[in-house]
Amino acid sequence: MTGRLSGRTALVTGAAQGIGKAIATRLAADGAKVVVSDINAEGGKELATAIGGVAIAADISDPVAVKSLFEGIAAKAGGIDIVVNNASIVPFIPWDEVDLAHWQRIIDVNLTGTFLVTRAATDMMRQQKKQGRVISISSNTFFAGTPNMAAYVAAKGGVIGLTRALATELGKYGITVNALTPGLVESDGVKVSPHNEAFGFVEMLQAMPGKGQPEHIADVVAFLASDDARWITGQTINVDAGMVRH
């Protein structure tokens, strides 16, 4: 679209479908070489082929897999300029059914996975003396306190906290760290989940009518990844048609 990311390499996790796929496609259109990572290896390969990127499958909750992911990035892409932490599990489970196993799995993927990827990415950026971008997909459920998602809301709140802390620590290296909080988005995963029934209610709460689309999120990520956002860090940008106003 713009070429404003030409010469840069971006990693997008959870990129085989939905919001991650839209982000990877947009960053590639803006000129970035995109490393498509997903636990769904075949889906990742299909997208990478379509956008001229590189596919490296990984379970981001597994430290060994994340180490292998970044070894692959070093070998196939030479380094990294942009990381988009998008991979997540979105549950629908009432509080009375939340047990430790469920809690731990959601935290492992949605928060610890973000830590593992960001740890490796920012280490690589600093080794290569790159003024990088860290962009994490949180959720407006953190602000809304959405029911049936307690572990998810807690994990996504942790992503916002991590974003603020890392912006403070990494600013001196020229690395910006920001988060997005999408509202309900008509993604592949949502369409086959109970959340698909909530669009009517959510739309009543929005300032603008319509259903959120993956491309709405990708557009903002592309901005944050670019030089246009070089003076923005430590921020959480709400992208939900004004459902949450703060």
**Residue-range domain boundaries for the chain:** 9-238
Residue 204 to residue 202: CA distance in whole angstroms: 5
* pLDDT at residue number 69: 98
**197, pLDDT greater than 90:** no
Residue whose token pair is 């959601």: 106
Angle in degrees, 0-180, between the axes of helices 113-127 and 150-170, rounded to the nearest 10: 20
* pLDDT at residue number 203: 80
Sequence-distant (≥ 6) Cβ neighbours of residue 86 within 8 angstroms: 12, 13, 14, 15, 19, 20, 23, 137
Q: What is the mean pLDDT of residues 199-222?
A: 87
Residue whose token pair is 């990827």: 117
Q: What is the mean pLDDT of residues 100-118?
A: 98
What is the pTM assigned to this prediction?
0.95
Sequence-distant (≥ 6) Cβ neighbours of residue 39 within 8 angstroms: 57, 58, 59, 60, 87
Residue 103 to residue 199: CA distance in whole angstroms: 26
Residue 80 to residue 86: CA distance in whole angstroms: 16
* pLDDT at residue number 24: 98
* pLDDT at residue number 193: 64
Determine which one of 88, 133, 152, 238 is catalytic.
152
Percentage of the chain exceeding pLDDT 90: 83
Name which of 154, 204, 211 is nearest 182 in CA terms: 211
* pLDDT at residue number 75: 97
* pLDDT at residue number 115: 98
* pLDDT at residue number 51: 98
- Can 173 be counted among the known catalytic residues? no
Residue 89 to residue 109: CA distance in whole angstroms: 7
pLDDT range class, residue 140, cuts 50, 70, 90: very high
Residue 68 to residue 66: CA distance in whole angstroms: 5
CATH 3.40.50.720 for domain 9-238: yes
Sequence-distant (≥ 6) Cβ neighbours of residue 30 within 8 angstroms: 1, 2, 3, 4, 5, 6, 222, 225, 226
* pLDDT at residue number 205: 84
Least confident of 73-87, 134-148, 190-204: 190-204
Condensed to tens digits (0 to 9), the pLDDT of residues 4-59 reads: 999 999 999 999 999 999 999 999 999 999 999 999 999 999 999 999 999 999 99
* Token pair listed for 208: 């603008």
H or E stretch at 177: strand 176-182
